Structure 1
Amino acid sequence: MFKKLFGLQEEKQTEDTLLSPLTGKVVAIEEVPDPTFAQKMMGDGIAIEPTEGVVVSPVDGEIVQFFHTKHAIGIKSNAGTEILIHVGLETVNMKGEGFEGHVEVGDKVSAGQKLLTFDLDLIKERAASTITPVVITNSDQIETLNKRAADEAVKGETALLSLELKKV
């Protein structure tokens, strides 16, 4: 009330926890066989070697980008964390074949909500790798980032990353 009366901004939530968007083996981002991800050129994060072809939202937020080839999706959490989920490596060359989207840009999503499905066997056959980077694309706005030590992750259940954004 005091803040509203004097025109001060409400303090925004600055903490976030990202649940695993996929079920599979957890891999350090530095071990992804693609320098763009391994060298964190797009941001810090983690990767999953999926065992099934379902991607769910790791956070409550909004879909801000969905590539026309359906191989990658961008989400902005309610706290402001910007997340890119890039299914497989060199999957853009599949031109959407084997991918099915279940959301659109602008949709509000809840953690655990299905975003897209994909044909894991087709990716194994036609792409460089099934490994799926989960990247914080606004890493420059992160105050602290903690990666959870987990060997296996369950989509929508396993907490992979917790972070605190810098206060603005």
Structure 2
Amino acid sequence: MLKKFFNKKEELSWIVPLTGTLKPITEMPDPVFSQKMIGDGFCIEPTIGKVYSPIKGEIVSIFPTKHAIGIREDNGYEILIHFGIDTVNLNGEGFNLYVNIGDKIDAGDLLLDIDTDSIKNKVPSLTTAVIITNLNGKNIRLSKLGEVKQGETIILNIY
């Protein structure tokens, strides 16, 4: 069934997870993300340190340092939200987590609250990657770039 699912062109409707500037993933200031080594998606340069779920699904992973969360969307896609660059080195400092592995979540549920003022000078960037990790070679085209507010709807065309 999954093979059939991944062979078609799709359009996904997501909630913007952070307020800030939405950019293509190729502009993420980390080559692991910008070169799509993990998958395709987008990044947001945040102006507010609150991260919400873009989708309905289940929390499948949380890094011990709280800087990254994995979500399995109800349709089978696996999403990684990775807040900032080198934030793993903060060992959770400045991050407040609102979910646990196994939690069922809705689009728009609060996942993380980050004290950006306390961490912004300790890391190279707060730019946050939102990646679909199991696209099987497919790519994403976004319906919108530029300034966004958390809660707005964006369309991801997968081809």
If the length of structure 1 is used for normalisation, what is the TM-score?
0.83
Deviation at 1:154? 1.4
Q: What is residue 115 of structure 2 aligned with on the other side?
A: 119
Deviation at 1:27? 1.7
- Cα distance in 1, alignment partners of residues 19 and 155 from structure 2: 12
SS in 2 for 1:85: strand
Unaligned runs of 5+ in 2: none
Corresponding residue to 1:25 among 21, 26, 30:
21
Q: How does 1:79-90 map to 2 (within 5 A)?
A: 79-90=75-86
SS in 1 for 2:120: helix
Asked whether 1:38 is paired with 2:34, we answer yes
- Count of residues in correspondence between the two structures: 153
SS in 2 for 1:84: strand
Corresponding residue to 2:144 among 144, 149, 164:
149
Unaligned runs of 5+ in 1: 1-10
Q: Which is worse superposed, 79-88 or 132-141? A: 132-141
Asked whether the equivalents of residues 13 and 153 of structure 2 are also in contact (C-alpha less than 8 Å), the reply is no
- Cα distance in 2, alignment partners of residues 15 and 58 from structure 1: 14
If the length of structure 2 is used for normalisation, what is the TM-score?
0.88
Q: Provide the aligned C-alpha RMSD in A.
A: 2.0
Change (3 A) 1:113 1:99: same
Q: What is residue 131 of structure 2 aligned with on the other side?
A: 135
Asked whether the equivalents of residues 150 and 160 of structure 1 are also in contact (C-alpha less than 8 Å), the reply is no
Q: Percentage identity across aligned positions?
A: 49
